[in-house]
């Protein structure tokens, strides 16, 4: 089994933050959950293993360079949620423009 470099770990971690939902693509273990099983990431250790609580109760980790998983494409990660909110607020601010006082707003 090979271990990732520090640089590789720094590239992996942002893609699998705690709470990320993942789907199992491949696991080389007789007790592996079935391919397609989904789970929730709770960390990445220094060996690059992705620590997952699988929905079926399994606790086997995704081993760096051996097993494979992918983020569940239908989830809203914290980053995507934050980006979506920023864009929503920007669009709302752009569509709300203050009205200049006109003759109908003046009382004489």
Assign residue 57 the CATH number of its domain. 2.30.30.40
Instruction: Flag whether 44 is in a domain.
Output: yes
Number of domains in the chain: 1
The token duo for 47 is 């060996």
Instruction: Flag whether 99 is in a domain.
Output: no
Structural domain boundaries, residue 76: 6-94
Query: pLDDT (tens digit, 9 = 90+) per residue, 2-17?
Result: 788 888 888 888 888 8
Instruction: Flag whether 104 is in a domain.
Output: no
Tens-binned pLDDT, residue by residue, of the chain (108 aa): 678 888 888 888 888 889 999 999 999 899 999 999 999 999 999 889 999 999 999 999 999 889 999 888 766 666 667 777 788 787 777 665 556 565 665 555
Instruction: Flag whether 27 is in a domain.
Output: yes
C-alpha–C-alpha distance, residues 41 and 18, integer Å: 5
Instruction: Flag whether 101 is in a domain.
Output: no
C-alpha–C-alpha distance, residues 40 and 27, integer Å: 16
Tell me what pLDDT residue 91 has: 77
């Amino acid at each position: 089994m090979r271990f990732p470099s520090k640089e590789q770990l720094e590239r992996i971690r942002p893609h699998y933050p705690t709470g990320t939902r993942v789907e199992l693509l491949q696991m080389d273990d007789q007790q592996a959950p079935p391919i397609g099983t989904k789970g929730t990431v709770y960390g990445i250790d220094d060996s690059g293993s992705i620590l997952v609580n699988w929905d079926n109760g399994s606790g086997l980790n995704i081993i760096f360079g051996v097993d494979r998983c992918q983020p569940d494409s239908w989830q809203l990660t914290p980053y995507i949620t934050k980006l979506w909110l920023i864009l929503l607020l920007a669009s709302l601010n752009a569509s709300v423009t203050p009205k200049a006082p006109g003759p109908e707003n003046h009382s004489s």
